[in-house]
Amino acid sequence: MKESNTKADPAWAGEIRTLYLSGAANQFVLYGNVNDRLLIPAAGPEDDSGRLGNLFEFLQVRLLKRFEVVLSYDLGTGLKVEAEGEKIFHQWPSARQSGALPRQPWEAIQYLDHFLRYCVNLRQLRHGGGTDAEGGALAGRNLHLAIVLRTAHLVLPRVPSFSHYELNAMASLVRSWSMETHFLEQNLAVFLISEKLNDLHSLVATNPRAAVIEVPLPGRDELAVAMKGFARDYPVALKQFREHPETPAERLAGTSLGSVESLIKTREHLGKPLAEGDLAELKKDLVERDCQGLIEFVEPHRTLDDVYGQEAVKDWMRQDIALWRQGDLAAMPMGYLMCGPVGTGKTYLVECLAGEAGVPVVKLRNFRDRWVGSTEGNLEKIFSLLHALGRCIVFIDEADQALGRRDSGPNDSGVSGRVYSMMAKEMSDTRNRGRLLWILASSRPDLIEVDLKRPGRVDVKIPLFPALSAEEGYGLIRALCKRLKLELPDACPADVSDLLPAYLTAGAAEALSIKVYRQVKTRNVPAMEALRDCLDGYQHPVDPKIMQEQIDLAVKEASDLAFVPEVFRPGRLALLGEKIGTKRANYT
């Protein structure tokens, strides 16, 4: 694996080279961004250019160039001997006798195992000089051999261990190539390529003698080098960035190189140059397409100035954002938990926080799947993307449902427990501090595993509450009506104050303001009259008992009592109950 200009290779390739040359590993499981286009550096250190190719081409050119025999297997094309090694391979008598190479997985794995054991036996023959009748010129030689399973997850898929004995036998054979002494003494390198680690059979995915290597999405430096080549080959598409190709590289970090190449080729064909204003929207589209619907970007069009009330919370968040911008990360939280009754604006607050910070918000969508290992594989893909994006907020709504549980019983085959384990590991990785800010939202924080809420994963727990008084409720409705261009008096009239329900949440106030707007437009009445009509006979959308329980939970979860209004603090809830008791009758 010795190559010139190895400094131009990505870090994962250098790790493979070190492990192989040191004898620490001869089997490598490559997962992650394995289907992307890769930048293949030029051989000479004086040339910083290169070309694009797939992962197999990269392995051939950068890591396996001096290997005498390279065999690859793909479920579609079957077993193949790369051209440079055909002459040596066909000195094997079985290769000459068998004719066509096998295409079926079980036959191909057996065939490869047979060939490897033949080479091991040849190495152990010490006759030399080609005197051995069977080995010929190969006798006594320690051939450099490489095997590449290009779609390993299709050849050796994850299955329940108690079934599919043929798959288990295949996985056991492949695993043995990294464990048996005579294979370790052979100059042998085995590569198993799978997009998702959790799609692989557990015997090979968890093999302690194999090195598991993640191929990440291209970083800014890789993209910048590729952009130089694109600027040369596609002058129209990159007309504005010809002198500064690092600009689109910086803005498009987190996208695959193949997607960027496709975009630039399309723009070149259409004669439409890329503009700097296009990059944010293009990145959003490319990333969502690459992730196949597992995530979505939330566009932050608001700031914390758009949040009504919650002054203590907003002050704390602004302090954190100031530290983030300054790069002072020692006091930067790893994550937030937004808790409180339904409708109190948890999602809205996250959008405002993101707009204030000026970073993208990535919202996890339904990554759970019914197929074995697929849910875990989806999480792998999401984590890989998050690492490539740089600074961003990761938002998990309904966290009590999405994050899994340590022990959820036998009904989900352990999927929930594995999701919990993967999320816990990722959220506590201190390397993400200042890069990823996790925000969980839930009206039932008591259902989130305690370990996921501990400091080091979630450092700040922010409770959100409904309006505490008629004046606050009216102010909330008035602010929302103002956005709809409806003017209400500054002061709340007495007759309206008596009609305002207790526990008015932001969600309920928004629904009321829309109803008021509808009445104004359809009945042609003043806004205040429409508000009175809407409040008369108002039915609260959430049972007040449930609302009270969720308020109690939010108070208990708060990481700082400064976030809790005085009236909700311990010892004051009973007094609050007396004050609002008469109003409960209005909507129960």
Residue 460 CA to residue 332 CA, distance in Å, equals 10
Query: For tokens 């598991």, what's the residue?
Result: 212
Whole-model pTM above 0.85? no
Residues 6 or more apart whose CB falls under 8 angstroms from that of 234 comprise: 264, 265, 267, 268
pLDDT at 584: 44
pLDDT at 128: 46
The rounded percent of the chain whose pLDDT value lies above 70 is 89
Confidence of residue 25 (pLDDT cuts 50, 70, 90): very high
The gap between the terminal CA atoms of the chain, to the nearest Å, is 75
Condensed to tens digits (0 to 9), the pLDDT of residues 315-370 reads: 999 999 998 888 888 888 999 999 999 888 888 888 888 888 888 888 887 777 66
Looking at the predicted structure, is the pLDDT value of residue 313 above 70?
Answer: yes
102-111, 228-237, 251-260, 572-581: least confidently modelled range: 572-581
pLDDT at 585: 45
Q: Would strands 27-32 and 436-442 be described as parallel, antiparallel, or unpaired?
A: unpaired
pLDDT at 588: 43
Confidence of residue 148 (pLDDT cuts 50, 70, 90): very high
CB-CB contact of 460 with 492 (8 Å)? no
Confidence of residue 470 (pLDDT cuts 50, 70, 90): confident
Domain 297-463 indexed as CATH 3.30.70.890: no
What average pLDDT does the segment 19-33 reach?
A: 95
Looking at the predicted structure, is the pLDDT value of residue 575 above 50?
Answer: no
Q: Classify domain 6-215 by CATH number.
A: 3.40.50
What average pLDDT does the segment 399-419 reach?
A: 73
Residue 152 CA to residue 123 CA, distance in Å, equals 28
Condensed to tens digits (0 to 9), the pLDDT of residues 202-233 reads: 999 999 999 999 999 888 888 888 888 898 89
Give start and end residues of each alpha helix (H) in 344-449.
Answer: 346-357, 374-389, 399-402, 415-427
Q: Is 252 helix (H, G, I), strand (E, B) or coil?
A: coil
Half-sphere exposure at residue 13, Cβ-oriented, CA atoms within 13 angstroms: 24
Give start and end residues of each alpha helix (H) in 125-219.
Answer: 152-155, 165-176, 181-185, 202-205
Secondary structure letter of residue 412 according to DSSP: G
Which one is predicted more confidently, 305 or 7? 305
Q: Name the token pair of 51.
A: 């070309």
pLDDT at 4: 53
Number of other residues whose CB lies within 10 A of the CB of residue 49 = 12
pLDDT at 208: 94
Per-chain mean pLDDT for the chain: 85
Query: For tokens 């023959």, what's the residue?
Result: 125
pLDDT at 445: 92
Residue 306 CA to residue 319 CA, distance in Å, equals 17
pLDDT at 576: 47
Residue 145 CA to residue 142 CA, distance in Å, equals 9
Number of other residues whose CB lies within 10 A of the CB of residue 146 = 23
